[in-house]
Amino acid sequence: MPALSQADVSGRLSTLTDWQIESGELTRTFKFDDFRAAMSFVNRVAELAEKAGHHPDIDIRYNKVRFGLVTHDAGGLTTKDFDLASTVDKLN
């Protein structure tokens, strides 16, 4: 799967809420009431990511969860990253 052009990335980013580009990754941080709620969300995302065959980088800090998406083998962002971001948004 080829990496998206900068114009495609900008267009797709405008369709997502609270996601941004940081150091070439599509990122978003979610905040929850407590650690248990954060972990529950991470586990739900893990199930969907496994089915999609596309795995985000996940940083968990008590009640905050940061996701980083990039398609490493394509050398940048692809439709897989934006599709998974959209799916994650629907879980929240």
Four-way CATH pick for 6-91: 3.40.50.460, 3.30.1360.20, 3.40.50.1100, 3.40.50.620? 3.30.1360.20
> What CA–CA distance (Å, rounded) separates 64 from 35?
8
Mean pLDDT over 8-13 rounds to: 97
Residue 1 has pLDDT above 90, yes or no: no
Position 51, amino acid:
K
Report pLDDT digits (tens) over 23-72.
Answer: 999 999 999 999 999 999 999 999 999 999 999 999 999 999 999 999 99
pLDDT value of residue 90: 94
pLDDT score of 82 = 97
